């Protein structure tokens, strides 16, 4: 039996992705046992983020500065722009360190079932950003779902009038994947995107 405060902390942690009630209890016990080394730094970090959290006015990233660290980085190639559905996608691509350009977060994807329309996403700001010039390539990095591909197609139609190269992430066989375990959609995309052996 825990106090109401400890129970409230456990409940709050259990709402985080990847943490169920049991994992949250283990995390709370760890924080309580390591009060000085874990609980205090966590509290300080949470308070600092909460006080300074903002959405980047340029790309839509979430950071503690505006513009965010990605947009403010002078080493980034301003001519290449990668469009993603969510901030988590931006963070995943940025973590890979494979894309040297800048990003644009849509804030979701088009979905008739969920009632998400083009005006619900940051598509107009994307079109304005491209219209301002200085961008040579737009990479549409949408998820390989029906909604993601519909969103990519819609954006491609909206920006095709600009003198830019529009590309999309490749889809198909994952590295280390075995044909036996892949779904038909992945196999079909891999076959459609086949290329000559060099």
| Integer Cα distance of 96 and 71 in angstroms | 17
More confident residue, 195 or 14: 14
Task: Please report the pLDDT score of residue 5 as a whole number.
Answer: 92
Residue with tokens 């990519």: 152
CB 79 within 8 A of CB 135: yes
Distances in whole angstroms, Cα of residue 145 to Cα of each of 126, 181, 192: 21, 18, 16
Region 61-70: mean pLDDT is: 96
In which element (H, E) is residue 83 found?
strand 77-84
In which element (H, E) is residue 30 found?
helix 21-33
pTM score: 0.83
Task: Please report the pLDDT score of residue 144 as a whole number.
Answer: 85
| Integer Cα distance of 84 and 106 in angstroms | 6
């Amino acid at each position: 039996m825990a106090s109401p405060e400890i129970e409230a902390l456990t409940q709050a942690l259990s709402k985080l992705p990847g943490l169920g009630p049991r994992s949250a209890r283990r995390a709370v016990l760890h924080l309580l046992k390591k009060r000085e080394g874990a609980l205090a730094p966590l509290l300080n970090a949470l308070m600092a983020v909460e006080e300074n959290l903002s959405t980047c006015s340029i790309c839509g990233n979430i950071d503690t500065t505006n513009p965010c660290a990605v947009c403010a980085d002078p080493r980034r190639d301003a001519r290449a722009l990668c469009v993603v559905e969510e901030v988590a996608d931006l963070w995943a691509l940025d973590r890979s360190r494979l894309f040297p350009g800048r990003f644009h977060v849509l804030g979701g994807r088009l979905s008739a079932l969920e009632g998400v329309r083009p005006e619900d996403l940051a598509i107009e700001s994307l079109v304005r950003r491209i219209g301002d010039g200085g961008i040579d390539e737009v990479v549409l990095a949408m998820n390989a779902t029906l909604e993601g591909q519909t969103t990519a197609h819609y954006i491609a139609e909206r920006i095709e009038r600009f003198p830019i190269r529009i590309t999309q992430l490749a889809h198909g066989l994952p590295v280390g994947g075995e044909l036996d375990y892949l779904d038909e959609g992945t196999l079909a995309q891999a076959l459609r995107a086949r290329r000559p052996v060099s």
